[in-house]
Amino acid sequence: MSTIKQGANKCVLSLRVARALIGQGYQVVDVGTSHRFPGRVVIKFDNTPELNAALDEIRRDIRAERQGEMSTD
Q: What are the structural domain ranges in the chain?
A: 3-71
Cα–Cα separations (whole angstroms), residue 47 to 2, 17, 26, 27, 64: 15, 15, 11, 11, 25
Q: Whole-angstrom Cα distance, residue 53 to residue 58?
A: 9
The predicted pLDDT at position 32 comes to: 95
pLDDT one-digit tens code per residue, 6-65 = 568 999 999 999 999 999 999 999 999 999 999 999 999 999 999 999 999 999 999 999
